[in-house]
Structure 1
Amino acid sequence: MALTIEIDHAKTRAKTRAKAAVAAGQPVAPQSVRGTIRRIKWGVLLLTLSIYYVTPFIRWDRGPNAPDQAVLLDFANGRLYAFFVEIWPQDLYLVTGLLVLAATILILTNALAGRLWCGFACPQTVWTDLFLLVERLIEGDRRLRLKNRGAPVTPKRAAQIVAKHAAWLLISFATGGTLIFYFTDAPGLLRGFASGEVSTNALTWIVVFAGTTYGLAGFARDQVCTFMCPWPRLQGAIWDPEAYTVNYRDYRGELRMSAKKAAAVRLEGKPAGDCVDCGQCVAVCPIGIDIREGPNFACINCGLCVDACDGVMSKLGRARGLIDYESWSNIERGRRKEAPVNRLVRPKTIGLTVASLALAGIITVAFATKTTAILSVQHDRDPVAVKLSDGSLRNAYTVKLLNKSSAPHAYALSVSGVDAKLAIVGVQTGSSVVIGPETSEALRVTLTGAADGQGDVVFTARDETDAVLSAKDRFVDR
């Protein structure tokens, strides 16, 4: 049986709104619902918001001359701090690795349960849920909100509108202000707010982030998940019929009819579906789609329609699960009256799991073996070698030492691979230099050796802790 994924639901939804006399362009007004999945979503919302708002105030001791904020994106000094991890611009390959790992895990999640991230933990979903909660508390549930759209503005209605938008703006500015805390010392900036001593730059970014939150969570809502986010556009390429996504068991629900009519039809020995066409699954959907029409690329797999349908089935004394997390393959098996098959473990998910574990292992090893200093060598290009009066050759190099630790270190330079004398320009005696904390220094270094001594040369820098850095170059005669 061919499967067509609905990609034109916006037009269908617009027609439904027109029939319901809902102004075009208005965001979806989902109805509140109770159930297991809704409780899980509230728990995830509370957890994610707590992490977001609390994390900037967690302290982490990194020693002297280092910030003590656990998570800090210090772009001004080119540092990213996350608890015990410190990332410099030279370590951005590790950030790239983390992004690749996150994308792989997201694809694995999609292969297991579709857009589970979108439905539960995506920031757009979390803040939209929070804004909808405020809207319900102030304006009432779906019916009242739809009734108020286009109705004359009374003093009570005006007070509700002002209260709702004031609460939204308060949340938005709290969100924008907290995001700024990740880029500077959070307690210091908070004290600046209290004393009125905040830079114009910080205030500008707070307004920008607050406006973004206010617009996306308060007005755009479902349109972000459907049209602005690139992830649903990938569903046509990575949609998996074995993934446990929200689906309607049409083989059980059709033909749709009222409970009384279904009872009468069944008494006549004719088949009748369990779906009573109450529309609760559509009313609670934050995207405004009808899951009974089949898989839809806009569905964020939040499962609120599952709670709504289970509630109706329980009241009617019918089995729950008419709408449920189920694979499309099992829906087709149900149509053929075959038993469902769980295929979460299959070559695709095994391969993605192995890839995720391998990437996580590589990144862990890279972090564990990451040094607190970097040595690099660049050979002079013009001239590449100078012949001295005694017949020996001199090659010149620029040796760069970067000390990423918060304490100064003394590095002793040496070379191996060729028989040549090392000298550091500007250093009178010895081959040791002191590099300050979190600084780099470029050294002019010369190697003087015999004319026939060309070959690969290894520069080595050893500090007082016996940590060794090395870099390879070439000693040439022309």
Structure 2
Amino acid sequence: MADTAAPKPGSTTDEIPIEAPLYEKRRQLFVQSVKGRYRSIKWAVLVLTLGVYYLLPFVRWDRGPNAPDQAVLIDFPARRFYFFFIEIWPQEVYYLTGLLVLAAFVLFLMNALAGRVWCGYLCPQTVWTDLFLAVERFFEGDRRERTKLYQGRWTGNRIARTGGKHFVWLMIAWWTGGAWVLYFADAPTLVWQLATLQAPLIAYIWIGILTFTTYALAGFLREQVCTYMCPWPRIQAALTDEHALNVTYKVDRGEPRVSLKKSVALRETGEKVGDCVDCNQCVAVCPTGVDIRDGLQLGCVQCGLCIDACNNVMDKIGRPQGLIGYDSEYNLERRLAGEPEEKPKIVRARTILYVVLILGISAFMAFHLATRSTLDVAALHDRNPLFVQLSDGSIRNAYTVRLANKALEERVFTLSLDGLPAGFVEAVGAENVSAQSLSVAVGPARTRELRVLVTVPRGTDGPASREIVFTLAAPEGESAFVRDHFMMPAN
């Protein structure tokens, strides 16, 4: 319940002002179609992004006989992530972390240059909502026809049109969920399994979950997601500045706004009249129902459709375009103060910093990807007991050693030990090469775990704990190492 203000002395309770509710009541939006430059850009982005999303699982990439040939694949059973020529192992999750950090800085840069351009053109919620709106217009007509349809009675015509719309919505949502699971298995194989009801149960579960969420978010919630559920509008407000380009109503040119007929009469008398004719076309085409003339708002996704609508109106009444356009708060304030506007400041400290960080992170990741090793070794010392004294007086330490072969062919590695003046290593399933090394075969793109026993003879002097190094060497000369400790009784 909203709080009420205390009554003023001498006033009645009927005069107590009521505080505005925290959330606006949901209103049905009938978004009008529009043609123009920004609408064309949005159509191009929609086709490109959805085309990539739906078709990418079927793109092939030859990695050799011992690796999957799907270009983009998240292979949970093998614990691999494949992206064309890049293969990420579980212990290389830092690459994914770097990618997320890189994406964050790209988003910050986009915000510094053009406000919520991500929200208006590239956000999945925006893209799928645009697609659902197109389907809605196809079945139920444009804004005026759809408004009349919803205000009328449920007739056979309305049932058929509304039913057709929801059926296509469900098919799009279903294929959206189906495309998602194709990234986790061989796409053609999984499609056949899904069609013949032989796919794993988890695939059907996730298709159902994503079908429901896509259908609900893009078909019904729409602007509620952008206004109440998404955190980015609140975050980006703290990251923007007065030089960022945002979709802006140029109040210095548009006000005072009057109808077209009145503006003609007032102009003839010499009175100052703005170019805005109060046609509300900018509101009618807004997917979130925002009136851009009220200034920047949380619900505005900066999609630019109001620019197209206003430009079309300006063309019809013979006035210059640009009453609504991408503009900076800095230039708006200069015009209101009677000063000439300046060119947009694209290059400034904020954007330079973001570009440097993006390039630095990209170069760092690219260098490490290009120079990363195709083998790896890790060792874990037994905790209990730390060492064992054998019957002949020798001391033995046990380790679990994991070897990784990231190449696509089987290789025979040499695992050697350094750091002990005397001693030998042995492991189950490995061939002893010398007293301090083992010969171990590891399959293509596989790991192998060994139980390694390191023993030193009786009478070996030294501290109770000394550092040792396990070195894994490939036939072609590549190597990797890991440090651990050999434990002995205190002298």
Q: Would you call these one fold, judging by a TM-score over 0.5?
A: yes
1:98-247 equivalent positions in 2, closer than 5 A: 98-247=99-248
Q: For the structure 1 residues 12 and 391, does the alpha-carbon distance in structure 2 shift closer, same or farther, using more than 3 Å as the test? A: closer
Equivalence for 2:44: 43
- Contact 1:281–1:309 under 8 Å retained in 2: yes
Q: For the structure 1 residues 12 and 315, does the alpha-carbon distance in structure 2 shift closer, same or farther, using more than 3 Å as the test? A: farther
RMSD: 2.2
CA deviation vs aligned residue, 1:288-332 (integer Å, no higher than 9, x gap): 011110111221110000000111111111111110011111111
Q: For the structure 1 residues 369 and 266, does the alpha-carbon distance in structure 2 shift closer, same or farther, using more than 3 Å as the test? A: same
1:246 Cα deviation from its structure 2 partner: 0.3
Q: Which amino acid aligns with 2:148?
A: K
Equivalence for 1:17: none
- Contact 2:396–2:453 under 8 Å retained in 1: no
* Aligned with 1:451 (options 452, 461, 485): 461
Q: Which amino acid aligns with 2:379?
A: V
1:215 Cα deviation from its structure 2 partner: 0.8
Uncovered stretches (5+) of structure 1, i.e. residues with no partner: 1-9, 15-23
Equivalence for 1:367: 369
Uncovered stretches (5+) of structure 2, i.e. residues with no partner: 1-19
Equivalence for 1:264: 265
* 2:482 is aligned with 1:471: yes
Equivalence for 2:350: 348
Q: For the structure 1 residues 277 and 331, does the alpha-carbon distance in structure 2 shift closer, same or farther, using more than 3 Å as the test? A: same
Between the aligned partners of 2:72 and 2:423, the Cα distance in structure 1 is: 46
Between the aligned partners of 2:431 and 2:43, the Cα distance in structure 1 is: 68
Between the aligned partners of 2:309 and 2:316, the Cα distance in structure 1 is: 11
1:436 Cα deviation from its structure 2 partner: 2.6
Q: For the structure 1 residues 133 and 196, does the alpha-carbon distance in structure 2 shift closer, same or farther, using more than 3 Å as the test? A: same
Equivalence for 2:405: 403
* 2:316 is aligned with 1:315: yes
Q: For the structure 1 residues 384 and 319, does the alpha-carbon distance in structure 2 shift closer, same or farther, using more than 3 Å as the test? A: same
Q: For the structure 1 residues 340 and 188, does the alpha-carbon distance in structure 2 shift closer, same or farther, using more than 3 Å as the test? A: same
* Aligned with 1:432 (options 410, 428, 439): 439
CA deviation vs aligned residue, 1:191-220 (integer Å, no higher than 9, x gap): 224444334332222122111111111111
CA deviation vs aligned residue, 1:25-45 (integer Å, no higher than 9, x gap): 454221000001111111111
- Contact 1:372–1:403 under 8 Å retained in 2: yes
Equivalence for 1:305: 306
1:90 Cα deviation from its structure 2 partner: 0.9
Between the aligned partners of 1:168 and 1:392, the Cα distance in structure 2 is: 74
Q: For the structure 1 residues 370 and 29, does the alpha-carbon distance in structure 2 shift closer, same or farther, using more than 3 Å as the test? A: farther
Equivalence for 2:9: none
The DSSP-based 3-state class of the residue aligned with 2:468 is strand
Alignment length (residue pairs): 460
Of all paired residues, the percent bearing the same amino acid is 48
- Contact 1:392–1:451 under 8 Å retained in 2: no
Between the aligned partners of 1:107 and 1:290, the Cα distance in structure 2 is: 26
The DSSP-based 3-state class of the residue aligned with 2:237 is helix
Equivalence for 1:21: none
Q: Which amino acid aligns with 2:461?
A: A
1:250-289 equivalent positions in 2, closer than 5 A: 250-289=251-290
- Contact 1:235–1:297 under 8 Å retained in 2: no
Equivalence for 1:460: 471
Between the aligned partners of 1:378 and 1:203, the Cα distance in structure 2 is: 40
Between the aligned partners of 1:472 and 1:222, the Cα distance in structure 2 is: 55
Between the aligned partners of 2:119 and 2:422, the Cα distance in structure 1 is: 62
Between the aligned partners of 1:63 and 1:106, the Cα distance in structure 2 is: 36
1:394 Cα deviation from its structure 2 partner: 4.5
Instruction: Pick 1 or 2: higher relative contact order, CA cutoff 8 A, min separation 6.
Output: 1
Bigger CA drift: 369-378 or 242-251?
A: 369-378
CA deviation vs aligned residue, 1:396-427 (integer Å, no higher than 9, x gap): 43322122334322111123344233311334
1:79-94 equivalent positions in 2, closer than 5 A: 79-94=80-95
